[in-house]
Amino acid sequence: MASKTIMLVCAAGMSTSMLVKKMEEAANNKGLEREIFAVSTTDADDHINNEDIDVLLLGPQVRYKKDEFEQRASGHNIPVEVIPMTDYGTMNGENVIKLAEQLMSE
């Protein structure tokens, strides 16, 4: 079982699947046990309310929903941040894992 759970949210939950794989590789290379998955904005609430999420990362295409997700996640003490466009565009799993780890340690 993963010690921490990272949820990525994008418009349809599909465009982040390649980034999830890259993040899993980066986490494994660092010896980190992480569950990383992607969902659509419409499915995110179910996961926020029913699962133990440690950090929520938004895809750049839904950055305009950050305030909305911060409100939803605040009652669950889940930090929310937007994945930087350059890291998302280049599928830089290592940088996105660093971002998630930083948010979970604050």
Catalogue the active-site residues. Answer: 10
Beta strands in 1-106 (DSSP E): 4-10, 34-40, 55-58, 80-82
User: Is residue 38 within 8 Å of residue 13, measured between CB atoms?
Assistant: yes
The number of residues in the chain equals: 106
- Token readout for 100 is 């998630």
Q: Which amino acid is at 10?
A: C
